[in-house]
Amino acid sequence: MKTLTIALTLVAFGAMAQAKPVKIVFDVTSSDTLTHQAVLRHVSGMAAAYPQSVFEVVVYGSAMPMFVKGKSTVSKSIQKLASNPNVSFKVCEQTMERYKIDKSQLVANVGTVPDGILEIVNKQAEGWGYIKEAHH
């Protein structure tokens, strides 16, 4: 069902023919590595199809390992996507503190924000679209 929803979303975006670039923030809180793979697949596909659009992946909570060197199962995909100036990756500093992770332990090209939830709320207030990534 989730795959169908994403597929329909991508078709709807395609119908817009990139007439107006969009900005989308992805919310990732799951430790499930399938969720990590899914968000990168979605961002990669959308960034390729809509090169004028902007995408940000915000991680907090149990998703912390997604951005930690030696623990991330998607670090190579992050590096590939991070070369696109319209794609960014952010991790919550409060989550880093809770997990006792410092910036030197993060996968390259991952930035930080003081609070992941507030980052998402602020993006939405600026008119960004929102996608909660989850895998069931």
Which is more confidently placed, 136 or 106?
106
pLDDT at 3: 47
Selection from 79, 63, 72, 65 nearest residue 116 by Cα: 63
Q: Is residue 74 part of a domain?
A: yes
Q: Is residue 65 part of a domain?
A: yes
pLDDT at 18: 53
Confidence of residue 136 (pLDDT cuts 50, 70, 90): low
Gap between the Cα atoms of 105 and 70, Å rounded: 9
- pLDDT, tens digit (0-9, with 9 covering 90-100), for 51-79: 999 999 999 999 999 999 999 999 999 99
Question: Residue 95: which H helix or E strand, with range?
Answer: helix 93-99
Reply yes or no on whether the pLDDT at 29 is more than 90: yes
Reply yes or no on whether the pLDDT at 134 is more than 90: no
Q: Is residue 91 part of a domain?
A: yes
Q: Is residue 47 part of a domain?
A: yes
At residue 129's C-alpha, the angle toward residues 18 and 22, to 5°, is 20
Q: Is residue 127 part of a domain?
A: yes
92: domain CATH number is 3.40.1260.10
- pLDDT, tens digit (0-9, with 9 covering 90-100), for 103-122: 999 999 999 999 999 999 99
Average pLDDT, the chain: 90
The count of domains in the chain is 1
Q: Is residue 11 part of a domain?
A: no
Give the residue numbers spanning the domain of 47.
Answer: 22-132
